[in-house]
Amino acid sequence: MKKLLIIILFLALIGGGFGAYYFLSGKANERNIEEIKKGWHVEIENDYINIRKEASATADILGEVKKGEVYKVLEVETVGDTYWYKIEYEKDKYGWIFNSNSSDYLEDNNNPEDIAAPTLKFFNDVYYVDSIDDINYDHLEVEDDKPGVTVTHKVFHEVNAETGKDQYWIQYTATDAVGKSVSKVQKIEFNERPSEDRVYNFAELER
């Protein structure tokens, strides 16, 4: 009986030690993330992003970062609207993760160089509105690492070749304080048909 009590006590001490270790490790990790968020960092929004050995889509894959994780930005390489961020994904292990103006894989925060354009999202394929005067941006989610983003729009008209019916598309453009912009297009349907002098020819839409 005495041996059994000793064994139980020993196991309890081991279990408590592991519990304390994971609790303290978790607290340390939380403090580390809080410190990272004070500087230039990225937060992963996609389910996962491949970590590459170099800033190239053909470079070797070292692993993955996952949604919700936060990493300090150590270095950036840009080509047009393509961004590669160098991060430390494990202690003393470094790699590159990708984003661009046309993808929402990650959120770029506290960017001192403001290299990235704003992100612009809508969550429905079609935007329904009574008239062209009722268009607003309440259904959009626009984010940038600095204040001063403006949103504009243009409405484009085409006639469906098969049905002969009018079709309309709205192009939103979000522009940040240093002039970097991103555009997205959504189908729009009106209860009241807009006049032709207030819409653009669909053939002029640049994607």
pLDDT of residue 13: 45
Measured over all CA atoms, what is the biggest interatomic distance in the chain, rounded to whole angstroms?
94
Q: How many CB atoms lie within 10 A of CB 44?
A: 21
- What's the CATH class of domain 119-204? mainly beta
Summarize pLDDT for 50-64 with one digit per residue, the tens: 999 999 999 999 999
Instruction: Say if CB 77 and CB 97 are below 8 A apart.
Output: no
Contacts of 80 (CB under 8 A, 6+ apart): none
Q: How many CB atoms lie within 10 A of CB 145?
A: 18
Summarize pLDDT for 170-184 with one digit per residue, the tens: 999 999 998 989 999
Summarize pLDDT for 85-128 with one digit per residue, the tens: 999 999 899 999 999 877 889 999 888 888 888 888 999 999 99
CATH architecture of 41-109: Roll (2.30)
| Domains 41-109 and 119-204 are alike in CATH topology | no
Instruction: Say if CB 49 and CB 64 are below 8 A apart.
Output: yes
Contacts of 5 (CB under 8 A, 6+ apart): none
Q: Model confidence at 145, in pLDDT bands (50, 70, 90)?
A: confident
Q: Taking the domains of the chain in order of start, what are their residue ranges?
A: 41-109, 119-204
Say yes or no to pLDDT of 157 above 90: yes
In angstroms, the CA 181 to CA 162 distance is 35
**Which amino acid does the sequence have at 134?**
D
**54-63 — which CB contacts under 8 Å span 24+ positions?**
54/96, 55/84, 55/86, 55/96, 56/84, 56/96, 57/98, 59/96, 62/89, 62/93, 62/95, 63/89, 63/90, 63/95
8-state DSSP, 104: -
pLDDT of residue 79: 80
Instruction: Say if CB 84 and CB 100 are below 8 A apart.
Output: no
User: What average pLDDT score do residues 124-144 get?
Assistant: 95
